[in-house]
Each structure stands twice: as C-alpha cells, then as structure tokens.
Structure 1
Amino acid sequence: MYNVLIADDHAVVRYGLSTLVNKQPEFNVVDEAANGTETYLRVEQGDIDILIMDLSMPPGESGLITTKRIHDNFANVRILILSMHEEQEYINQALHNGAMSYVLKSSSDDELLKALRQLMNGQEYVDKNIKLTTDDLAKINTDGTAVNLDGYAGLSKRESEVLPLITLGYSNKEIAAELFISTKTVEAHKANIMQKLHLKNRAELIRYAIHNKLIDL
C-alpha cells in the first residue's frame, strides 16, 4: 500500500482526487494540503510515498519551488504534478526540479491512474497529451531551467519556508504558529533572509520573490 498526499488549493479538487485514489487497492490517501508550505511540512513528518500536487496554490510558495525543496530533501517521495499549466516552460522546469510525473488537469482520470501506477513501479510518466522534444529533454536534464539564484540557494530550509509567509504579510506570531517555532526564531530568520538576499525591506522582498517566481499571488 502506497501512502499518498494530495496538495491542491481547491477543497473540491482534493475531495475528488481522494475519492478516485482511495478506490484503487494499491493507494491510500493519508492527508491533504492546500498550499506549498503545508505540503512541505506534511512531507517532513514522514510516511508519504507519493505526492500529487498542483503547481499553482496561491497565495504562497510557487509549486515549482516546493517541488525542488521536497526533491532535494526527501528524494524518496515520488512527485506527480497535476496542473492546468500546459506551457512547456512549466512542464520542463517541474520535471527538472524533481517531479517524476506531469499530468494535465484536462486529461482523463485514466491518465492520472496510469501515472500513479508508473510511479508505484519507480518509473517516470508524462501525460500522453504532452510532447517533449529533444530540446525539452535537454532543458530538463541540464541546469538551464533551474532556479538559479545564488542568494536564495543559500537560505536554510526554515528560511525558505519563512520567506513566502513574510511576503504574504504574516506577522511574526502567525509565522511562528504556522511553522511551530518561536517568534524570536522568526525574527532571526527574517534578518538572515534580508542579509543573504541583500534586501532592505519587505517591499524589496516581495519584488524579488515575484520577479524570480518564488511565490504565487
């Protein structure tokens, strides 16, 4: 039995996916998440074999960034992106960042189930409606589409989680409650983020995050 986490910002979508997946004898949906931060924190708790995740779960961290963070820190979790984004740029970068599968929301349930069974066997799967060219494969397998930000790459795991919450206007107390840390720790993370990214205030941080597609608004 494979434990599945479903991440999507729409409750009705999560319910539909949970119902479909739980009908399959090989899979069991153990939890749901509504944004990138919740998704990462739940994966961090353990017992997740497969993650089915949307790329756009505003407001908050970009799904592309969440994909990369989970792949970098929990490589055993098999990530299936289920997205409305059909643009090749999103597909290439999601696969480059560590997703093992990419399925379009416009596709049939059978396509999603086929992808799940491929993941169960440790195999990658791309929606039959997506055509990958030689150039696309080159981008996926090189650093050309990676998030290439020296300052951001230098952030710690917790600092990466604090960043989108700051941009969304969460107070120190709210960030502390969300991440189960103290307000003093939040303040220290904020100072480190600003120093590492060479930014002076929240307005500059918001521009930085939007420009580099670190968050969805």
Structure 2
Amino acid sequence: MYNVLIADDHAVVRFGLATLVNKQPEFKVVDEEANGTDTYLRVEQGDIDILIMDLSMPPGESGLITTKRIHDNFPKVRILILSMHEEQDFINRALHNGAMSYVLKSSSDDELLRALRKLMNGEAYVDQNIKLTTDDLAKINTDGTEVDLKGYASLSKREREVLPLVTLGYSNKEIAADLFISTKTVEAHKANIMQKLKLKNRAELIRYAIHNNLIDL
C-alpha cells in the first residue's frame, strides 16, 4: 500500500482526487493540504510515498519551489504534478526540480492512474498529451531552468519556509504557530532573510519574491 498526499488549493479537487485514488487497491490517501508551505511540513512528518500536487496554490510558496525543496530533502517521495499549466516552461522546470511525473488537469482520469502506477514502479511518466522535444530534455537535465539566485540558495530550509509567510503578511506569532517555532526564532529568521537577500523591508521582499516566481498570489 502506497501512502498518498494530495495538495491542491481547491477543496473540491482534493475530494475528487481522494475519491479516485482511494478506489485503487494499491493506494491510500493519508492527508490533504492546500498550499506549498503546509505540503512541505506534512512531507517532513514522514509516511508519504507519493505526492500529487498542483503547481499554483495561492497565496504562498510557488509549487515549483515546493517541488525542489521536497525533492532535495526527501528524495524518496515521488512527486506527481497535476496542473492546469500546459506551458512548456512550467513542465520543464517542474521535472527539472524533481517531479517524477507531470499530468494535465485537462486529461482523463486514466492518465492520472497510469502515472500513479508508473510511480509505484519507480518509473517517471509524462502525460501523453505533452510532447517533449530534444531541447526540452536538455533543459530538464541541466541547471538552466533552476532558480538562479545566489541569495535565495543561501537561505536555510527554515528560512525558505518563513519567506513566503512574511511576504503574505503573517505576524510573527502566526508564523511561529504555523511552523511550531518560537516568535524569537521567527524574528531571527526574518533578519537573516533580509540580510542574505540584501533587502531593506517587506515591500522589497515582496517584489523580490514575485519577480523570481518564489510565491503565488
């Protein structure tokens, strides 16, 4: 039995996916999340084999960034992106960042189930409606599509979790409660973020995050 986590910002989509997946004898949906930050925190708790995740779950961390963070820190979790984004750049970046599968929301249920069974066997799968060219494969397999930000790359795992919450206007108390840390630790992380990114205030942080596709609004 493979434990599945579903991440999508629409409750009706999560319900539909959970109903479909739970009908399959090999899979069991053990939890659901609605944004990138909570998805990462749930994966961090353990017991997740497969993650079915949307790329756009505003407001909060970009799904592309969540994909990379999960792949980097929990490489055994098999990530299936289920997205409305058919743009090749999104597909290339998601696969480059560690997704094993990419399925379009416009495709049939059979396409999703086919992808899940491939992942069950440790095999990558891309929606049959997506055509990958030689150039696309080159972008996926090189560093060209990764977020090329020295400052962001220097942030710690926890600082990367704090960043989107700060940009969205969460208070120190709210961030502390969400991440199970103290308010003093939140203040320290915020100070480190601003120093490492060479930013002066939250407005500059918001512009930085939006410009570099670190958050969805």
TM-score by length of 2: 1.00
Measured in 1, the distance between the counterparts of 2:3 and 2:63 equals 20
The residue number in structure 2 matching 1:198 is 198
Measured in 1, the distance between the counterparts of 2:37 and 2:151 equals 20
Measured in 2, the distance between the counterparts of 1:18 and 1:38 equals 18
**After the TM superposition, which segments of 4 or more aligned residues of structure 1 sit over 4 Å from their partners?**
none
Q: CA deviation at 1:191?
A: 0.2
1:1-217 to 2 correspondences below 5 Å: 1-217=1-217
Alignment-mate amino acid for residue 145 of structure 2: T
CA RMSD of the aligned region, Å? 0.2
Alignment-mate amino acid for residue 123 of structure 2: Q
Alignment-mate amino acid for residue 191 of structure 2: A
What percent identity do the matched residue pairs reach? 89
Q: CA deviation at 1:112?
A: 0.0
SS in 2 for 1:91: helix
Measured in 2, the distance between the counterparts of 1:148 and 1:18 equals 35
Q: Deviations over 1:35-86 (max 9, x none)?
A: 0011000000000000000000000000000000000000000000000000
Measured in 2, the distance between the counterparts of 1:146 and 1:76 equals 20
SS in 1 for 2:91: helix
Measured in 1, the distance between the counterparts of 2:116 and 2:184 equals 42
Q: Deviations over 1:167-202 (max 9, x none)?
A: 000000000011000000000000000000000000
Measured in 1, the distance between the counterparts of 2:19 and 2:148 equals 38
Listed as ranges, the gaps of 5+ residues in structure 1 are none
Aligned residues: 217
Alignment-mate amino acid for residue 192 of structure 1: N
Listed as ranges, the gaps of 5+ residues in structure 2 are none
Measured in 2, the distance between the counterparts of 1:5 and 1:123 equals 18
Q: CA deviation at 1:148?
A: 1.0
SS in 1 for 2:143: coil
SS in 2 for 1:52: strand
